[in-house]
Amino acid sequence: MQLNEELAKNSRFVTDLPLCEVRIQNEARFPWIILIPKRDNVAEIIDLSIEDQEQLLKELRMASKVMQSAFNADKLNIGALGNIVRQLHLHVIARYEADLAWPNPVWGYFELSTQYASDALSRRIALIKDAFDELA
């Protein structure tokens, strides 16, 4: 899989699943991961084989459980927009009624992202990776 340069620039690797690479969005205001199917030239879920679509759903279910348990979210926002980055990727974002953007979507709500400090990013990655490892 060739990773889109915007995804590479704005996220960091967490772990690999059978179909998807899991990355953390470098946006410290929200616990936010991205699932990216390791398939070339895929823009839409329907571009995946039926088997890969089923695997994507399994991995999305796992990612949702990870985000819910690791962050005790009030709500999970899940989306696959692709308007700017065409490479298929699914966002899984833990949301809280007290977060800065609630009840609005996080996309485009802020002009600039708030990036993690390197130690905070490392801790967050370890937390998410450990949560995936526990479910595997």
What's the confidence (pLDDT) of residue 13? 98
What's the confidence (pLDDT) of residue 59? 98
Contact at 8 Å (CB) between 37 and 57?
no
pLDDT tens per residue, range 49-78: 999 999 999 999 999 999 999 999 999 999
Which H or E element spans position 76? Answer: strand 75-79
Q: What single-letter DSSP state applies at residue 117?
A: P
Report d(CA 31, CA 22) in Å as an integer.
Answer: 13
Phi then psi for 129, rounded to 5 degrees? Answer: -60, -45
Please give the CATH number for the structural domain made up of 5-130. 3.30.428.10
CB atoms near residue 117 (< 10 Å) = 9
pTM as predicted: 0.95
What's the confidence (pLDDT) of residue 39? 98
- Run means of pLDDT, 10 residues per run, the chain, 136 residues: 95 98 96 98 97 98 98 97 94 96 88 90 97 93
Give Cβ neighbours of residue 74 (< 8 Å, ≥ 6 apart). 95, 96, 97
What's the confidence (pLDDT) of residue 112? 78
Task: Using alpha carbons, select from 125, 115, 136 the residue that is nearest to residue 13.
Answer: 125
